[in-house]
Amino acid sequence: MMGAPGAGKGTQARLLASRRGLTHVSTGDMLRQADEAGTEVGRTARRYMNQGQLVPDDIMVGLVAERLARNDCGNGFVLDGFPRTVRQAESFAARGQALEAVIALVVPEAELVERLSGRRVCRRCGTMYHLSFSPPTTAGRCDRCDGELYQREDDLEQTIRERMAVYARDTAPVLEHYRRAGLLREVSGSGDPEEVFSRVTASLQ
């Protein structure tokens, strides 16, 4: 599942995985967990993410390979946030992992900035909100656990613009790589999640 920051990759990857009995493999979640655990990989990744930069290829390829070796990926998986460079795509293919399809969610940049800059996350349980689309009942507090809501550093507008530039430079060429391989499915990511999901499933027919 591919697309620019804020395109809805995580939401659609989770829906696809849950409804087809697959394992959702999110590199963003893996990196954040490593950061919270205080590992060296986590600390290194955090430095790059806070600047809106991609985590180096060797770190990402190693993390994904380790995750896919677990038993729960044996019946299939949905990759969310990987690969993000052509080198990652080539390294992944070299390991013998075949992909059935690559879905790219396409959303106008102005809409992406609005989505990301309004996002808030609970410090305690990780539940996500949006100030415009899904605000909490009480401003600044989580409906689920009453934890404090905060804005991630990678959701600040300056960082968002940098992330967009990095995507155009490093990740967009991956789409062309998969287009040439006949795997790419481009799907509009605008609209509510169920509308987008209906397009995703139609693209896989």
Catalytic residue from among 67, 163, 185, 199: 163
9 noted as active-site residue: yes
Choosing from 32, 46, 115, 119, which is the catalytic residue?
119
Active-site annotation holds for 47:
no
CB atoms near residue 138 (< 10 Å)? 10
Token look-up 């656990």 returns: 145
SS (H, E, C) 34-101: HHHCCCHHHHHHHHHHHCCCCCCHHHHHHHHHHHHCCHHHCCCEEEECCCCCHHHHHHHHHCCCCCCC
Say whether 152 is catalytic.
Answer: yes
Residue whose pair of structure tokens reads 């899904």 in the numeric block = 134
Q: Active site residue: 14, 87, 141, 152, which one?
A: 152
Residues 12 and 196: beta-carbon distance below 8 Å: yes
Q: Which of 9, 67, 115, 185 is catalytic?
A: 9
Whether the upstream peptide bond of residue 83 has omega within 30° of 0, thus cis, is: yes
15, 199 contact by CB (below 8 A) = no
What is the rounded CA–CA span in Å between residue 152 and residue 133?
17
Distance in angstroms (rounded) separating the CA atoms of residues 6 and 8: 5
Task: Return d(Cα 140, Cα 136) in angstroms, integer.
Answer: 7
> Catalytic site residues?
9, 84, 119, 152, 163
